[in-house]
Structure 1
Amino acid sequence: MDILGIAVLIFLVTDPFGNIAIFLAALKGVAPERRLRVALRELLFALGLLLLFLTFGEWLLKGLGLSRESIAIAGGIILFIIALRLIFPSPQGLLGEVPDGEPLLVPLATPAVAGPSALALLMTLRNTHDGPLWELYAAVLLAWAGTALILSQATRLHKWLGARGLNAVERLTGMLLIMLSVDMLLDNLQSILHITP
Structure 2
Amino acid sequence: MLDLKEIFSVSLILFSVIDILGSIPFIIIIRKREGRIQSEKATIISAVLMVGFLFLGQSILKLFGLDVASFAVAGAIVIFIVAMEMILGITLIKDDPEASGSGSVVPLAFPLIAGAGTLTTILSLRAVYAEVNVLVGIVVNLAFVYLVLRSSAWLERVIGKSGFAVLRRVFGVILLAIAVKIFKSNFSF
TM-score clears 0.5: yes
Rounded Cα–Cα distance in structure 1 between residues aligned with 2:90 and 2:109: 20
What is the 5 A alignment of 1:5-154? Answer: 5-12=13-20, 15-23=23-31, 26=34, 40-55=39-54, 56-91=56-91, 96=95, 106-107=101-102, 109-111=104-106, 113-116=108-111, 118-121=113-116, 122-127=118-123, 131-132=128-129, 137=135, 140-154=138-152
Query: What do residues 11-61 of structure 1 show as CA deviations (whole Å, max 9, x unaligned)?
Result: 359934322354366567xxxxxxxxx955335434433335534443321
The unaligned stretches of length 5 or more in structure 1 are: 29-37
What residue number does 1:170 align with?
Answer: 168
- Cα distance in 2 for residues equivalent to 1:27 and 1:113: 14
Q: Is the 8 A contact 1:18 1:170 kept in 2?
A: yes
- Partner amino acid for 1:174? G
Amino acid of the structure 2 residue aligned with 1:131: V
Deviation readout 1:142-172 (Å, 9 max, x if unpaired): 5433432222222222222123322322322
TM-align CA RMSD: 3.9
Quick one: which amino acid aligns to residue 80 of structure 2?
Answer: F
Tell whether the 8 Å contact from 1:24 to 1:155 is kept in structure 2 after alignment: no
1:63 deviation in Å?
A: 0.7
CA distance in 1: counterparts of 2:156 and 2:108, whole angstroms: 18
Is the alpha carbon distance of 1:165 and 1:135 closer, same or farther for their aligned partners in structure 2, counting shifts above 3 Å?
farther
Deviation string 1:87-114 (CA, Å, 9 cap, x unpaired) is: 22425x8664899xxx9xx435412531
Amino acid at match of 1:90: I
CA distance in structure 2 between the partners assigned to 1:98 and 1:19 by the alignment? 20
Show the counterpart of 1:184.
182
Distance apart, 1:186 and its partner CA: 3.2
Counterpart code for 2:61: L
Structure 1's 138 and 107: CA in aligned 2 closer, same or farther, altered over 3 A? same
CA contact (8 A) 2:51 2:135 kept: no
Normalized against structure 1, the TM-score is what? Answer: 0.62
